[in-house]
Amino acid sequence: ADGEEVIVSNELGKVTLRAAVVERVGRGMIWSPRPITDRLGRPLNALASGEPQLLGGGPRYASIQVRLQRMTK
C-alpha cells in the first residue's frame, strides 16, 4: 500500500524502502530514483550485478529482477 515500508530483494541483497503507488508505473514493475539508500545505508545498486546488459553493454539498472514484500509489523 502507498506509504508502507517494503523489502526489495534478489539473490544479491535487499533494501527496505517506502512504497509510493502511482498509476504511471505498470503493474508488476517498480521504479526507484538512483542513487538511493535505505534507512540502514544499503544502496539500491547492491541489487544490480556487474554484468553489462546485452543491448548496448551498459549497466542493467532498467532490467533488474527483484521480489517485493511487505514489512511485517
Size of the chain in residues: 73
The model's pTM: 0.79
pLDDT at 57: 82
Q: What is the pLDDT along the chain (73 residues), one digit of tens a residue?
A: 788 999 999 999 999 999 888 888 888 888 887 778 898 999 988 898 888 888 888 877 777 889 999 987 6
Instruction: Render 23-42 in DSSP notation, one character per residue.
Output: TTS-TT-----SS-B-TT--
Q: How many Å apart are CA 2 and CA 54, to the nearest integer?
A: 34
All cell numbers assigned to 14: 535487499
pLDDT at 16: 93
pLDDT at 7: 94
